[in-house]
Structure 1
Amino acid sequence: MASAGDVQFGGQMEKTKERNEAKEGREEGGMEFSACGACGQGWGGDRVEFLGRERYDKGAYLFLPSYVMRIHGAKQQRDAVKRTPKNQLDPVFEALDTLGNTKWRVNKRVLGVIDRIWASGGGLADLVDREDLPLPEEPDTDDEAEIKKWKWKVRALKKENSERHSQRCDIELKLAVARKMKDEDGFFYPHNLDFRGRAYPMHPYLNHLGSDLCRGILEFTEGRPLGKSGLHWMKIHMANLYAGGVDKLSYDGRIAFTENHLDDIFDSADRPLEGRRWWLGAEDPFQCLATCINLAEALRSSCPETTISHMPVHQDGSCNGLQHYAALGRDKLGAAAVNLVAGDKPADVYSGIAARVLDIMRRDAQNDPATDPNVLRARLLINQVDRKLVKQTVMTSVYGVTYIGARDQIKKRLKERCAIEDDTELFAASCYAAKTTLIALGEMFEAARSIMNWLGDCAKVIALENEPVRWITPIGLPVVQPYRKLGRYMIKTFSQVLTLQRETDKVESLLSSDLCFVNFMSVNVMVKRQRTAFPPNFVHSLDGSHMMMTAVACKEAGLNFAGVHDSYWTHACDVDKMNRILRERSLLNFTRNPFWKICWRAFKKHSLH
């Protein structure tokens, strides 16, 4: 029998071994990334199935505390969930369990390619370069304009290098987790919710909500035969990932694109870095590479339909926020623009907005520069307008993007293209482009804008009564907007003044001694935040309900399912089944709780007529 000393020594040896394994993590910018540390601290997936949700604060992890909702500091939301009957929350718990019980594994071939690129310095397939940009030497001149230009350039390069450092650290953490988990049979991602009811994996870094790198590395542990339908969807999926306008073709057009590039697909699968590197031209290169590998294996087999596929195939919403507004308002024009109406090929709302923006700019470009300052900006931007320039602004318009936010989004796109070198002119052009884009949006989606304005007006009336906006989502989750002014305590001492904040419905004045006193401010809801945040939060809650309802229905139908908000994933062979389910659940999302009924529930307390 081993003595206590032997046991202690054995444990020390085990710790030494773990430390040696931890050294496999790479150093980047003075930081050492340990694969063991990353996984040991809950940054990787769980190797075993977790506990089902039983209540607000129990489930998912076996030993660690785990809450169903990420609501730190939001006391009213926490109380609302705690007071909700369990049978009302059971569908939410079931959906979270379904999402968390999907088993994942690492795609070793894709990880191997990523490791090779990273080891050789990065700079490919959206991986950041591992080297910093060199700073220019100070010019030997007394010319203030030259010195000012040099300082501006140094400042910009330092900012770029700082961003590169952050990106390198992020990549190292993701790769550390992937390397640690690559030999596991499978792992799970328990989920919880934000206050609006949108589901997120509880593990950061490597998960399917992440970047193309994460999504290319991850695949379902369970494999299923492609079948005839799966092979069909795999070819469509390839075109969707390659994008560049190909994803807007009809299904037949996308299949034809894939079949016309079979040589490139085989070359990418066999020689991803030594060959023609066709996959690097994709909008999502690592996911494209994973698809090349799977598709090449299938097409080279004697019976492609029997090939086992582990790949998730995505079905994405078309500007999902606008889809919800079109459904809520029964807006036929808006519905056609966001693919709620059947068509031969998908409508592209971003291209539609870009075309309208271009029309406005062409009209402005014909004006007299002496009387219209926008003429020169319009002429400068005409050749820059495309769907990519306006896409982010269109996507975020339904979530309350402001003029300033739109300006910054477009400025970033223009800066990436190096379209306008002068910073002052870039700012002015971005202002003009943002204004034009918002005008085009208002014209094309007038009904959506009207609903957003009405929701905001209702929220303002409620907030003016010192009440937060509350509602219950179609799946039964209570939502309370958390935007409130916190109780503020000012504690004065001989040496300093401390200000403490606490969320509370009642703040009492306390006097602890002659040396300090407490002042207080009454707690009120933030009227402006309640008003501006309600339309996007309301739509996000519909989004979350639809995804969770779809997850449960897919589980009942025997499908593997993963979801990223408005993107729905399953095996290629099951896409047709999932498509039917997600459309049925979308219909149920609105027919079970029509717009008027949802709003009546939310507003009936506040005498809104």
Structure 2
Amino acid sequence: MLLVRWGDAIEQEIRICTFLNKTRKKKEDGEVENGTAVKEQDKLRKRVNDLIKKQKLSAVRKILQSHDYTKPWTADARAKVGSHLTELLVRTAYIQSPANQQDHDLPDVRPAFKHTFKTVAQGSMKSGRKYGVTLWSAKGRYAVMPYMPMLVPPLKWSGYDKVAYLFLASYIMKTHGAKQQREAFKSAPKEQLNPVFEALDTLGSTRWRVNKRVLTVVDRIWSSGGCTADLVDRSDVPLPEKPDTEDESILKKWKWEMKSAKKENSERHSQRCDVELKLSVARKMKDEEGFYYPHNIDFRGRAYPRPQHLNHLGSDLCRGVLEFAEGRPLGSPGLRWLKIQLANLYAGGVDKLSYEGRLAFTENHLEDIFDSADRPLEGNRWWLQAEDPFQCLAVCINLTEALRSPSPETVLSYIPIHQDGSCNGFQHYAALGRDTVGAEAVNLVADRDPETYPDALRARKLINEVDRKLLKQTVMTSVYGVTYIGARDQIKRRLKERSAFSDDNETFGAACYAAKVTSTAIDEMFEAARAIMRWFGECAKIIAAENETVRWTTPLGLPVVQPYLEMGKQLVKTSLQTLSLQRETDKVFVRRQRTAFPPNFIHSLDGCHMMMTAVACKRAGLCFAGVHDSFWTHACDDDKLNKILREKFVELYSQPILENLLESFEKSFPYLDFPPLPERGDLDLKLVLDSSYFFN
């Protein structure tokens, strides 16, 4: 909780000042007569000061605790101090916006924050729980952005908090306060973690820059009101006027309309703030020749860029305004991949054609591509129909430059070309289970032309609505344990977006049917994957029943601890409100440990694959960026990337991963009986090397 963290910061500041003042006073009063002791005191003070300057707060805390200059504060004391600070901030912090519309000579000065209470409904209950919130009340281009891209390469990782940023606090793992995760990482030998360090250093060494032409288009759209290319409308929905009537049915309808309008406006405000944050970073960095994104990992080992607002992990807006800072000549292979990239970004089913079909799509739309590049907002705006419009526009600009050049192969390209896994979660399950049928269904083995896929789902009652977009989320999340209710709600949301049915009951019924048929088809097609998922769940249940957390070590040596513990609550009265502080207990959250283990384990493996690929690409001289199961490089190097990522997948699954996992469980819990490994097929993993659509 933020208030507790603020209180903790004040506590440490007080302890630091107390420590420094006491040692200084002792020296001045001559209480320390021994020369060696004086030198030791000076040395200790200097060390503390140096650590403070370098933001090494955890090291400072250890020094202070070892000298015990003051007793540790309790959590409620920290919360009360943090609450008082927040109250002072709300009372005294003001911002000055541009002149208001009523009087252009007067600035608009307003409080920067406001503290209020909101009631959040719970389920079907009309009443809900009341929460106190402190809101940033500024509108427009005002934001606090502590972590920005770096203008120099990040420092190399060498430990839990060592280092990445030069001065800002940096932690290699996002543990969300879970002590067991931190301790497991810190206790692992450095040699064991070196592959993870090297991979994160590789990801952080990629140099980026802002695509100014795309940013100019974004700024024009935004300044004219947004509501184009998936940008939110900058205007609010008008609130309906209260009808002059006592008719309860009419008033009830008005109340629902008012509630809906306010909800829509709240969501738009949130989205506008998000866009402003992204654009603030882009505008600040647009004139830089290049910048870098330090990376860290979550507890499963998936890598993320540390700066949150504008990075390649983000939305189409983010990806559209970012490009590699280093340009490389397209060459003949690069020109081909640039055309394929455009078709992939346009989507709408085009991205599932064969490579020849995608190339033909691009060739058939050259005039639209040229027009998009020349007159993005004044022309026929073909690029706006793409599923990823800003990325599509960036490729249109680069492709236009190349095709109009007398030597297209020599044109420099800065565009990251994506290679995405085909339902990547199931690919990992198929490899674990050596499942030939499942491998064929997700392109793990060779050359199954996407245009010849059977309609496995057979959702005949929804024949006019069943397409990839309707079922994609359900298929993708089924590998991570989505329930029938979750699948039903996912499909229902897609159907409501399309207004496919006349009323909610019909939509609900159609969603139920589609979810059931989809789940049945997935079970039949991925029977081996389901068997492994059940085995994961049984093992986790056995461990958690002993009040133990599920732990494992990834093939790259990263220790993983599932952080799910039961939470206790403590009420603390502060000057702002009564706070409910959540605290981890010593009791394991059994159900969460069981349900989360299958997806977490698979995520830890896809993290390994991405890291292995990143390091191999760097050693081969390729520029690399990655987003979980999407690997990026220059167009001219895409054939090399395809070869490397397949080789690394085979290398990863040539290890006895499930056997090692079972052995680690039996070693950690020799008094427990675990079920035997599920039966596996006879898939030859080397077939992956020749599969054109494994990543595509």
Same fold (TM over 0.5): yes
Amino acid at match of 1:414: L
Q: Could you tell me how far 1:204 is from its partner in structure 2? A: 0.8
Aligned residue in 2 for 1:98: 202
Match of 2:524, SS state, is helix
Deviating more after overlay: 308-317 vs 384-393: 384-393
Report the Cα distance in structure 2 between the residues aligned to 1:151 and 1:72, rounded to whole angstroms. 39
Q: Could you tell me how far 1:136 is from its partner in structure 2? A: 3.1
Q: Could you tell me how far 1:583 is from its partner in structure 2? A: 0.6
Aligned residue in 2 for 1:259: 363
Report the Cα distance in structure 2 between the residues aligned to 1:601 and 1:563, rounded to whole angstroms. 30
8 Å Cα contact 1:336/1:347 also seen in 2: no
Partner residue of 1:442 out of 494, 503, 523: 523
Correspondence 1:572 to 2:635: yes
Correspondence 1:300 to 2:381: no
Q: Kindly tell me: are residues 547 and 155 of structure 1, through their superposed partners in 2, closer, same or farther at Cα, counting changes over 3 Å? A: same
Aligned residue in 1 for 2:663: 600
Amino acid at match of 1:337: A
Partner residue of 1:395 out of 471, 476, 482: 476
Partner residue of 2:466 out of 385, 388, 403: 385
8 Å Cα contact 2:353/2:451 also seen in 1: no
Aligned residue in 2 for 1:563: 626
Correspondence 1:204 to 2:308: yes
Correspondence 1:159 to 2:267: no
The TM-score, its normalising length taken from structure 1, stands at 0.84
Report the Cα distance in structure 2 between the residues aligned to 1:50 and 1:93, rounded to whole angstroms. 12
Report the Cα distance in structure 2 between the residues aligned to 1:579 and 1:199, rounded to whole angstroms. 20
Correspondence 1:325 to 2:429: yes
Report the Cα distance in structure 1 between the residues aligned to 2:144 and 2:249, rounded to whole angstroms. 49
* Paired residue total: 543
Report the Cα distance in structure 2 between the residues aligned to 1:578 and 1:118, rounded to whole angstroms. 36
Same amino acid, percent of matched pairs: 67
Report the Cα distance in structure 2 between the residues aligned to 1:437 and 1:281, rounded to whole angstroms. 29
Once the two structures are superposed, residues 367-412 of structure 1 have per-residue CA deviations (whole angstroms, 9 ceiling, x without a partner) of xxxxxxxxxxx4xx44322221111111111112122222221121
Q: Kindly tell me: are residues 30 and 465 of structure 1, through their superposed partners in 2, closer, same or farther at Cα, counting changes over 3 Å? A: closer
Amino acid at match of 1:150: W
Once the two structures are superposed, residues 444-479 of structure 1 have per-residue CA deviations (whole angstroms, 9 ceiling, x without a partner) of 222211211111011101111111111111111010
Partner residue of 2:154 out of 28, 34, 50: 50
Amino acid at match of 1:330: R
Amino acid at match of 2:138: M
Deviating more after overlay: 439-448 vs 300-309: 439-448
Match of 1:55, SS state, is coil
Report the Cα distance in structure 1 between the residues aligned to 2:651 and 2:539, rounded to whole angstroms. 25
Aligned residue in 2 for 1:591: 654
Report the Cα distance in structure 2 between the residues aligned to 1:69 and 1:97, rounded to whole angstroms. 14
Report the Cα distance in structure 2 between the residues aligned to 1:234 and 1:599, rounded to whole angstroms. 44
Deviating more after overlay: 479-488 vs 204-213: 479-488
Q: Could you tell me how far 1:490 is from its partner in structure 2? A: 8.1
Report the Cα distance in structure 2 between the residues aligned to 1:497 and 1:261, rounded to whole angstroms. 61
Amino acid at match of 1:129: D
Partner residue of 1:63 out of 154, 163, 167: 167
Report the Cα distance in structure 2 between the residues aligned to 1:123 and 1:499, rounded to whole angstroms. 39
8 Å Cα contact 2:440/2:448 also seen in 1: no
Aligned residue in 1 for 2:138: 31
Report the Cα distance in structure 2 between the residues aligned to 1:150 and 1:327, rounded to whole angstroms. 56
- Mark the runs of 5 or more structure 2 residues left unpaired by the alignment: 1-93, 100-107, 113-135, 676-696
8 Å Cα contact 2:95/2:138 also seen in 1: no
8 Å Cα contact 1:474/1:593 also seen in 2: no
Amino acid at match of 1:251: Y
Partner residue of 1:404 out of 456, 464, 485: 485
- Mark the runs of 5 or more structure 1 residues left unpaired by the alignment: 1-18, 363-377, 505-522
Deviating more after overlay: 414-423 vs 481-490: 481-490
Report the Cα distance in structure 2 between the residues aligned to 1:251 and 1:576, rounded to whole angstroms. 13
Aligned residue in 1 for 2:593: 530
Amino acid at match of 2:552: W
Once the two structures are superposed, residues 81-139 of structure 1 have per-residue CA deviations (whole angstroms, 9 ceiling, x without a partner) of 11111011001000000001101000000000011111111111111111122233344
Q: Could you tell me how far 1:144 is from its partner in structure 2? A: 4.1
8 Å Cα contact 2:488/2:514 also seen in 1: yes
Once the two structures are superposed, residues 189-238 of structure 1 have per-residue CA deviations (whole angstroms, 9 ceiling, x without a partner) of 00000000000011011000000000000000001011111011111111
Correspondence 1:271 to 2:375: yes
Match of 2:173, SS state, is coil
Report the Cα distance in structure 2 between the residues aligned to 1:248 and 1:570, rounded to whole angstroms. 21
Once the two structures are superposed, residues 335-383 of structure 1 have per-residue CA deviations (whole angstroms, 9 ceiling, x without a partner) of 11111011153379xx86xx444x3x54xxxxxxxxxxxxxxx4xx443
